[in-house]
Structure 1
């Protein structure tokens, strides 16, 4: 099986927030941002897989800061872990107001993609090799996030979420009585 370094699937996508992208308050509509995030993360996933990918899941997306008309959105997307036929992509979104020189982090999310062939059948994906400490931590934590996704989707039983159970047992053991 092929292998790829995490940096090989890194993507930055920029978009200018135009009037058609905003609500009556001149804030970026959440659906438009989700659309852009799906595109940016799909690009990263396809770069990693060298193949067509389809969106399998979107984790919680919290809107921390309003994005205004005229801001420039930068979406940083990177594959954090590859499983058998799927990849997890982490995105961090920044809004920059160029005239004022301000830049704020507005969103963060994880999307999951599945690689498919021309017959819409899932296919194996290359292994991911994390290099930096941050990449290694994201890689390790991806297994817990995956188990939570599968648990919430009803695809596994709680007893099968071994990494997730270990995490909660660790947290319980760390509690001060």
Structure 2
């Protein structure tokens, strides 16, 4: 039987304070800063799951739902949702706790594909994953659709039209 791990084994939570250098002229956090945080937590979750170094293969979707301002607290949560031979799909949620009111809202969701690699940078096999929460189970059921879409898109890369 193939080695599988519960999604909770990879679950990672980070907290970040939004500081003035993280914000644009509107006083809201730069999208690129949020993307950097998302990439980092996805890598950590994938490394915990695979026990290997990882590289980012794709950022499939990023949904910016609301904004964060200086003084707000971001909580990022990432977990491996599904796996291929050496790839892992990681789901990341970003919540914002408003510094002035304490209200908590979902600000960003993202799906990334990370690939486990050896010291030479070659892909290596990863364990399977068992979704645990209702959200993970729902996303797990649609993972093959997203994987096929990524493969179709990659078939077009590099081709002239």
Same fold per superposition (TM over 0.5): yes
Are the structure 2 counterparts of residues 93 and 132 from structure 1 closer, same or farther at C-alpha, using a change threshold of 3 Å? closer
Q: 1:74-93 counterparts in 2 under 5 A? A: 74-93=75-94
Structure having the higher Rg: 1
What is the match of residue 143 of structure 2? 142
8 Å CA contact retained: 2:6, 2:131: yes
8 Å CA contact retained: 2:3, 2:127: yes
Q: Secondary structure at the match of 1:65?
A: coil
Q: Secondary structure at the match of 1:100?
A: coil
Higher normalized helix content (fraction of residues): 1
Higher relative contact order (CA 8 A, sep 6+): 2
What is the match of residue 17 of structure 1? 18
1:110 is displaced (CA, Å) by: 0.2
Work out the CA distance in 2 between the residues paired with 1:87 and 1:12: 18
Are the structure 2 counterparts of residues 81 and 74 from structure 1 closer, same or farther at C-alpha, using a change threshold of 3 Å? same
Work out the CA distance in 2 between the residues paired with 1:102 and 1:132: 24
Q: Secondary structure at the match of 1:54?
A: strand
Work out the CA distance in 2 between the residues paired with 1:131 and 1:45: 16
- More displaced 10-residue stretch of structure 1: 93-102 or 107-116: 93-102
What whole-Å deviation, never above 9, does each CA across 1:98-157 have from its counterpart, x for those lacking one? 34111111111100000000011100001112234433222121111111111122269x
Using the size of structure 1 for normalisation, the TM-score is 0.83
Using the size of structure 2 for normalisation, the TM-score is 0.91
Are the structure 2 counterparts of residues 80 and 17 from structure 1 closer, same or farther at C-alpha, using a change threshold of 3 Å? same
What is the match of residue 162 of structure 1? none
Work out the CA distance in 2 between the residues paired with 1:8 and 1:26: 36
Higher normalized strand content (fraction of residues): 2
What is the match of residue 175 of structure 1? none
Work out the CA distance in 2 between the residues paired with 1:72 and 1:29: 14
Segments of 4+ moved more than 4 angstroms: none
Please, which runs of 5 or more residues in structure 2 have no aligned partner?
none
Work out the CA distance in 1 between the residues paired with 2:121 and 2:156: 21
What is the match of residue 121 of structure 1? 122
